[in-house]
Amino acid sequence: MGTIKSRRAGLRLYELESAFASNLEPTSPRLRSYRISRLLGQAARLCQLIRGQDVIEDSDRLVAIAAAQLKIDPMHFDSVLEVLKEADLVEERRGKLYEKVRQIDFGENYERVGEIWQQRKKDAREELTVCALDELVEFPRLASELGSFSGVAEPVRKQILEVTNNARLIESLSVGVGEPMLFAPMLWDLDPKRVSSVLGQLGTGSGLKQIMGRIQGAQSGTELSLLSLSLQEQALATKAVTIGLLPTFPVNSVGGEKSFTFTPYSGALITDQTERELLGKARAVVSCVRYGQKYAGASRISYPVALLRALLDPSRNYSLASHSEAKQQYGQLVLRGVGRIVQNGSRYVFQLIPSEENKRAVRLAIELLNRNEIVEERNLTISDASPLSAPGAIGNEFDGISMAHKRKRAGDDELEDLVEILRRG
């Protein structure tokens, strides 16, 4: 059985529970093997529901909302809450629930839930399912290629695939002759049949997997031309873009036409056309911002997330500051109904059409920007650094430490104390 990092385990548990809650009967006998994973998946989903609430005074109301929205059985709600308490994401104080879901690094919530899952004694089938899913969200594979299934008895495999197929968590796709391809629908927001046909055309061993890995490793909305692909890989990537396997959005303004490509993994099961369009809008927003970051002729975007937050701000009338290139740069968003361009003298203002759908698209775009975001190092002037780094003043102090520890490994506490001096100045 493969190993899985706790953060990824938490994400997979979230996806597993979302799929099971949507598509399976909660009393199905097959689900008896997924008790721990479902419980922790529910905890991960509840995290998202209560995020930012700070205080929940009416826990009965929370039980009702969790039952209605997340299909968490009220009978098991206390167990879900216990998991969140164990993960230090919720604390009960004087009859109130204090929400402690991490906001800055939301992934840490998944990590904590994933850690608990790893520590708990589980049914082998649920562990296999989570590990197999983790492999499949990277790229479709044949069942025989799955590391998690290696050495697993055929009846167990069949049982897992039956449950996950029914839940639409993992689908089997025919790619012509031979065994079917296993595919996680969350990986692509395309119709599964279309994915099947595309994979049939390109073949799974074509190197597409490597290209996707490179795109996943880069920031969201990356340019294929910046990925240093070989000629053969470039041709394959172009084909994948053409047939819609790699969602790509062109933007054309003063810096010429540039295309921004996204990983096909959406992290959610796209079930209808509206959701697909929403994701498309979010990707288009990211593309326009990326263009402004890299190719704007004047005043490039330094803080893309801050820019998008400004777009959601009613006090700014959902508008960005006027810019001479806004008309072209955000033209695609006008076509998609995300916003409008308002002329302001010789400049243009991009204004969001503040429908709920558009606001959701911008929020999703912020999330896309945050994922794999490369934090830009500022060019700092360090003219006043010399007194601090003067070797004479500091060196003597540490010479003493060096001598004191000549024959002894420096302890962690000692190193911590040392750095504390630097922290407090």
- The residues that touch another protein, with contacts defined as CB under 8 A, are 52, 54-55, 57, 91, 93, 96, 98, 100, 102-105, 303, 305-306, 309, 375, 378, 380-385, 388-389, 394-395, 398-399, 401-402, 405-406, 409-410, 412, 415-416, 418-420, 422-425
Considering the complex, what minimum distance in angstroms separates the CB of residue 390 from another protein? Answer: 10
Considering the complex, what minimum distance in angstroms separates the CB of residue 394 from another protein? Answer: 7
Q: How far apart are CA 421 and CA 425, in angstroms?
A: 6
Closest CA to 244 of 288, 283, 205: 283
How many Cβ atoms are within 10 Å of 283's Cβ, its own excluded?
24
**Which residues have a Cβ under 8 Å from the Cβ of 142 and sit 6 or more positions away?**
178, 179, 180, 181, 182, 204
Annotate 300-345 with three-state secondary structure. CCCCHHHHHHHHCCHHHCCECCCECCHHHHCHHHHHCCCEEEEEEC
Considering the complex, what minimum distance in angstroms separates the CB of residue 101 from another protein? Answer: 9
Judged by beta carbon, residue 177 or residue 419, the one nearer another protein is: 419
Q: How far apart are CA 415 and CA 409, in angstroms?
A: 11
Q: How far apart are CA 345 and CA 235, in angstroms?
A: 45
Considering the complex, what minimum distance in angstroms separates the CB of residue 252 from another protein? Answer: 28
The secondary structure of 179-240 as a DSSP string is SPEEE-GGG-SS-HHHHHHHHHHH-GGGSHHHHHHHHHHS-SSB-GGGS---HHHHHHHHHH
Judged by beta carbon, residue 93 or residue 121, the one nearer another protein is: 93
Considering the complex, what minimum distance in angstroms separates the CB of residue 422 from another protein? Answer: 5
Closest CA to 376 of 321, 304, 326, 311: 304
Judged by beta carbon, residue 346 or residue 381, the one nearer another protein is: 381
Judged by beta carbon, residue 60 or residue 420, the one nearer another protein is: 420
Considering the complex, what minimum distance in angstroms separates the CB of residue 383 from another protein? Answer: 7
Judged by beta carbon, residue 205 or residue 391, the one nearer another protein is: 391
The alpha carbon torsion through 316, 317, 321, 322 (nearest 10 deg) reads -150
Considering the complex, what minimum distance in angstroms separates the CB of residue 262 from another protein? Answer: 22
Which residue has 């490597």 as its token pair?
Answer: 210
Judged by beta carbon, residue 121 or residue 406, the one nearer another protein is: 406
- Looking only at the bridges linking them, the beta strands covering 339-344 and 248-253 are unpaired
Helix/strand/coil percent split, the chain, to 5: 55, 10, 30
Q: How far apart are CA 221 and CA 291, in angstroms?
A: 10
Judged by beta carbon, residue 205 or residue 425, the one nearer another protein is: 425
Judged by beta carbon, residue 113 or residue 269, the one nearer another protein is: 113
Judged by beta carbon, residue 313 or residue 357, the one nearer another protein is: 313
11 close to 110: Cβ distance less than 8 angstroms = yes
